[in-house]
């Protein structure tokens, strides 16, 4: 059974391990360098009054997914960015759905009017996930250079709260 709760600093090492496996496989995140638990703890403290972080944990309390929303200066007023990561091999089991229910509720409480998801155009799983939540396309960015130098297209999807 999966439970969703607010993320804590103590979760950051597990979250980094989960994310680094996804980064190592490649193709589904714009992140291209490994992250540390300290990196994630610092990200969590960046604008804490305007962001929300949630983890999904299994019956053994192991982190099997996490999601956050945070402001982004490149977005219009009232919008937050979202990022979602689910443990490799655990997608399609409702983890993302459970995370999004908590995140959407938090976004409303924080006063956001909509949520932006920017996904690599070659990340079919991510595109499907956000589409199935009710996100709709609103922007397309061609030939974006990632930190690794790789060039990809990105699709931004919008979810009105």
CA distances 69 to 98, 108, 129, Å, are 15, 11, 16
pLDDT for the residue numbered 2: 93
Report the C-alpha dihedral over residues 116, 34, 121, 84, rounded to 10 degrees: -40
CATH number of 3-160: 3.40.630.30
Rounded average pLDDT over 72-88: 94
Unique residue bearing structure tokens 């908590």: 102
Domain ranges within the chain, ordered by starting residue: 3-160
pLDDT at 8 over 80: yes
Least confident of 82-86, 121-125, 127-131: 121-125
Least confident of 11-25, 47-61, 144-158: 144-158
* Percent over 70 (pLDDT), the chain: 98
Strand partners, 4: 56
Rounded distance between C-alpha atoms, residue 69 and residue 47, angstroms: 11
DSSP class of residue 147?
T
Rounded distance between C-alpha atoms, residue 120 and residue 111, angstroms: 27
User: DSSP states of 90-125 as a string?
Assistant: -TTSSHHHHHHHHHHHHHHHTT-SEEEEEEETT-HH
Rounded average pLDDT over 113-124: 94
- What's this model's pTM, rounded to 2 decimal places? 0.92
pLDDT at 91 over 80: no
Q: What is Dmax (Cα atoms) for the chain?
A: 42
pLDDT at 26 over 80: no
Q: How many other C-beta atoms can be found within 10 angstroms of the C-beta atom of residue 64? A: 20
Q: Which residues are within 8 A (CB) of 132 and not within 5 positions of it... i.e. 6 or more apart? A: none
pLDDT for the residue numbered 35: 94
pLDDT-derived band of residue 139, with 50, 70 and 90 as boundaries? very high
Would you say 154 and 120 are in contact if contact means Cβ atoms under 8 Å apart? yes
pLDDT-derived band of residue 27, with 50, 70 and 90 as boundaries? low
């Amino acid at each position: 059974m999966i439970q969703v709760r607010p993320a804590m600093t103590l979760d950051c090492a597990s979250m980094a391990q989960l994310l680094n496996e996804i980064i190592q496989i490649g193709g589904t995140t714009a992140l291209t360098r490994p992250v540390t638990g300290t990196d994630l703890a610092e990200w969590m403290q960046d604008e804490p009054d305007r962001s929300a972080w949630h983890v999904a944990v299994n019956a053994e309390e192991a982190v099997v997914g996490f999601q956050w929303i945070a402001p982004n200066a490149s977005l219009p007023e009232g919008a937050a960015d979202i990022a979602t990561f689910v443990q490799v091999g655990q997608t399609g089991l409702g983890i993302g759905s459970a995370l999004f229910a908590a995140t959407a509720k938090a976004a409303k409480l924080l006063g956001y009017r909509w949520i932006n998801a920017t996904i690599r155009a070659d990340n079919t799983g991510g595109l499907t996930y956000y589409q199935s939540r009710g996100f709709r396309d609103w922007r397309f960015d061609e030939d974006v250079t990632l930190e690794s130098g790789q060039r990809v297209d990105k699709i931004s999807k919008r979810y009105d709260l």
